[in-house]
A and B are shown apart, each in its own frame.
Chain A
Amino acid sequence: MGDAVLYYEDVHDGDQAPVLTHVLTRTDLVTYAGASGDLNPMHHDEVKAQAAGQPSVFGHGMFSMGLLGTALTDYVGIGNVVRFRVRFARQTWPDESLSSRIVVTGKRTEGDQHLVDLDVRLLNADGEEKVVGEATARVPARG
């Protein structure tokens, strides 16, 4: 993980990154709450979440983006992301299986930089989109 280097010459339109799958647990939400400083009770307090009309606690949007970020850097390399944008489409729920879907949409050079554009998504097992966006990475060339 993070060891295999992705070279510009080896990237092609439509290439898919390895899929990262994770089953969301309440422990994940508590861990993310502590590590992010986001203590909104909707993400860790079942009693308050239900009192607010939610079926249970639900995931932080930024946890979903963070998990997708892990899948992204697994593919393009840590330190190589230059842009990462998402829209939060749906809430995530404990016990849902979340999977990344990252597809290369193009590559280009800008000056001496080799850039790869990607479509990035996080989906549950039913294919429901949780997070939808795009990213750009600067990758090395074999040159």
Chain B
Amino acid sequence: MGDDILDAITGRSTGTTVVTVERGQLALFASAVKDPSPIYRDPRAAAAAGLPGIPAPPTYPFVMGNFGAFPELQAEGGGSDNPMAEVLGPLLAGGGIILHGEQEFTYHRPVYAGDVLVGRGTVADAYRKESKGRTMTFVVVDTVWSDRETDEPVCTSRMNIIHRG
């Protein structure tokens, strides 16, 4: 595989997902990351902390596409695209493993229970490096989550996925 394919996927959309953020899911996730704070469980505690609603733990945006992406929320014909799989699928078929190399979140405001958010993903970069005799293929995907009502950005997630051959 030449690097043409890496150039070809850079800038491509990974699709659009609309999610609703549910309170029960936030409490469950907070427990899973060992945070017992009542702010994630009781709206009175959240209000006492000056927050307008029950917030999501900082890393929740990484997983929120796995929940609450109900069919009626999705735009007609929106669909998703998977340029990352086009690169990593054939590489993985030839062996090696997939690693999560880096993760970054930029928060414009906290995510709150009840939010309906639109996530738009783009391949920000794709490149190869040689390391200790192995070929490492990096794919960087940015997902920008915006408030569906106001269209204002809420959180940007940057994920760096590595195939190590």
A residues in contact (CB < 8 Å) with B:
1-2, 20, 22, 28, 31-32, 34-38, 61-63, 65-67, 69-70, 72-74, 77-79, 81-88
Kindly identify which residue among A20, A35, A72, A87 contacts B58, using a CB–CB cutoff of 8 Å. Answer: A72
How far is A84 from B102 in the complex, measured between Cα atoms in Å?
11
B67 within 8 A of A: yes
How far is A85 from B104 in the complex, measured between Cα atoms in Å?
4
Kindly identify which residue among B25, B57, B100, B106 contacts A73, using a CB–CB cutoff of 8 Å. Answer: B57
Q: Are B51 and A1 in contact (CB under 8 A)?
A: no
Q: Are A36 and B32 in contact (CB under 8 A)?
A: yes
Kindly identify which residue among B29, B36, B101 contacts A36, using a CB–CB cutoff of 8 Å. Answer: B29
Q: Are A62 and B63 in contact (CB under 8 A)?
A: yes
B103 within 8 A of A: yes
Q: Are B104 and A84 in contact (CB under 8 A)?
A: yes
Q: Are B37 and A2 in contact (CB under 8 A)?
A: yes
B residues in contact (CB < 8 Å) with A:
25, 28-29, 31-37, 39-40, 49-51, 55, 57-59, 62-63, 66-67, 99-107, 110, 158
Q: Are A32 and B32 in contact (CB under 8 A)?
A: yes
Q: Are B31 and A66 in contact (CB under 8 A)?
A: no
Q: What residue of chain A has the Cβ atom nearest to residue B62's Cβ?
A: A62
How far is A81 from B66 in the complex, measured between Cα atoms in Å?
23
How far is A20 from B36 in the complex, measured between Cα atoms in Å?
13
Least Cβ–Cβ distance between B122 and chain A, in angstroms = 18
Which 8 pairs of residues, A with B, have the shortest CB-CB distance? A37-B66, A66-B33, A35-B32, A85-B104, A69-B58, A70-B35, A36-B63, A2-B37
How far is A37 from B58 in the complex, measured between Cα atoms in Å?
16
Q: Are A83 and B59 in contact (CB under 8 A)?
A: no
Indicate the member of A28, A36, A62, A87 with the most B CB atoms within 10 Å: A36
Which residues of chain A are within 8 angstroms of B107 by Cβ–Cβ distance? 81-84
How far is A85 from B25 in the complex, measured between Cα atoms in Å?
23
Which residues of chain A are within 8 angstroms of B104 by Cβ–Cβ distance? 83-86
Least Cβ–Cβ distance between A116 and chain B, in angstroms = 14
Say yes or no: A73-B32 contact (C-beta < 8 A), given A62-B100, A84-B105. no
Q: Are A1 and B37 in contact (CB under 8 A)?
A: yes
Q: What residue of chain A has the Cβ atom nearest to residue B104's Cβ?
A: A85
Kindly identify which residue among A35, A72, A82, A85 contacts B103, using a CB–CB cutoff of 8 Å. Answer: A85
Least Cβ–Cβ distance between A1 and chain B, in angstroms = 6
Kindly identify which residue among A20, A37, A69 contacts B59, using a CB–CB cutoff of 8 Å. Answer: A69
Least Cβ–Cβ distance between A97 and chain B, in angstroms = 13
Least Cβ–Cβ distance between A65 and chain B, in angstroms = 5
18 new A-B contacts, CB < 8 A, other than A67-B33, A70-B33, A84-B105, are A1-B37, A28-B32, A31-B31, A35-B25, A62-B59, A62-B62, A66-B29, A70-B34, A78-B51, A79-B110, A81-B58, A81-B107, A83-B105, A84-B58, A84-B104, A85-B158, A88-B102, A88-B103
